Amino acid sequence: MPKLRYKRVLLKLSGEALAGDQKFGINPPTLDVIGKEIVEVHKLGLEMVLVIGGGNIFRGMSESAKGMDRASADYMGMLATVLNALAVQDALEKLGVETRVLSAIAMREVCEPYIRRRAIRHLEHGRVVICAAGTGNPYFTTDTAAALRANELKCEAILKATKVSGVYDKDPMKHADAVMFKTIPFMETLERRLKVMDSTAISLAMDNNLPIVVFNLFTPGNIKRVAQGEDIGTTVTGG
């Protein structure tokens, strides 16, 4: 069996990743590809927690900027993450991996309530745990939820899957001369306002010395490469 760098990680996926080439919704072929990547690394023995955004269905902050009450918009965004979590659960279980969706907002008919000890037991039994509905509170993003759950569930790293290869000094989609960092300290990402994760999530990871590995989700095999410790993407650390 290939050697893994980590025993337990949190994989943060954006909702937009599930949309594929579409602007909105869930693209089944893209979902299938992502599911197979997750299953491949899970079969190596990696314990995995997933946190998925809801931006492909509803973006709370965008709607609040248009005049909607921020708390109401955020709750709607949390519900969108549950839809994505159920879609990913279905994709993974079709591939033979047992999963549990744990929601910070109670909805017993479709998923379990998030209880930290229960989540840890699921991981110990080899199940992929999908944490949905953010923190259950408005004004907190799914980035912050990812940092919180990673700390609560004793993950060794946050794997932040994105559409770019790592963290750059400026937007690589707009600037051809953008330079990618191989490693960067937490404090520098805050000082330079680099869009790794939001400032609350970065601060929470920094305070608990939890590394964040940022990498391109759409390069085949990258989740496995990161799990095995290959030098790809950008690692955000306390150093």
The number of beta carbons lying within 10 Å of the beta carbon of residue 77 is 26
| Res. 119 pLDDT band, cuts 50 70 90 | very high
Q: Per-residue pLDDT averaged across 127-142, rounded?
A: 96
pLDDT computed for residue 58 by the predictor: 85
DSSP letter, residue 50: E
Beta strands, E only, the chain: 8-13, 47-52, 99-103, 112-113, 128-132, 158-162, 167-168, 180-181, 183-185, 212-216, 234-237
Give residue-wise pLDDT tens across range 55-76.
998 875 666 657 788 899 899 9
Q: Residues 4-23: what's their mean pLDDT?
A: 93
Tokens, residue 94: 């079709």
Confidence of residue 112 (pLDDT cuts 50, 70, 90): very high
HEC-encoded secondary structure of 160-193: EEECCCCEECCCCCCCCCCCEECEEEHHHHHHCC
Q: What is the pLDDT of residue 62?
A: 66
Task: Output the CATH code of domain 8-237.
Answer: 3.40.1160.10
The pLDDT value given to residue 67: 79
The β-bridge relationship of strands 234-237 and 212-216 is antiparallel
What is the pLDDT confidence band of residue 23, given thresholds at 50, 70 and 90? confident
Say yes or no to pLDDT of 24 above 90: no
Distance between CA 16 and CA 108 in Å, rounded? 26
Confidence of residue 12 (pLDDT cuts 50, 70, 90): very high
Stated length of the chain: 239
pLDDT of 189-217, one tens digit each? 999 999 889 999 999 999 999 999 999 99
Domain positions in the chain are 8-237
